[in-house]
């Protein structure tokens, strides 16, 4: 079973002993705004890059062609 992006973020928050509010503060947004995005699993690629940076993690998204080329 695949995890949603929101589920992955929640797992990382748990492992780092952080709350949604802690992450929202690092992102310069409100807890409610971040909670809404997490509830809807609605993130832009820019959102995810900022979240990864705030969590001190790497983030990578690629399309991989048949020849192995990443785009």
Identify the pLDDT of residue 1.
85
Identify the pLDDT of residue 5.
96
Task: State pLDDT tens for residues 12-31.
Answer: 999 999 999 999 999 999 99
Residue 66, pLDDT > 90, answer yes
Cα of first residue to Cα of last residue in the chain, in angstroms, is 25
Task: State pLDDT tens for residues 31-59.
Answer: 999 999 999 999 999 999 999 999 999 99
CA distance 59 to 39: 20
Identify the pLDDT of residue 25.
98
CB 18 within 8 A of CB 27: no
Identify the pLDDT of residue 18.
98
């Amino acid at each position: 079973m695949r995890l949603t992006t929101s589920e992955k973020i929640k797992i990382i928050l748990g492992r780092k002993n952080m709350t949604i509010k802690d992450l929202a503060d690092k992102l310069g947004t409100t807890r409610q705004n971040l909670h809404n995005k997490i509830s809807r699993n609605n993130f832009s690629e820019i959102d995810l890059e900022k979240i990864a940076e705030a969590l001190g993690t790497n983030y990578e998204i690629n399309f991989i062609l048949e020849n192995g080329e990443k785009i």
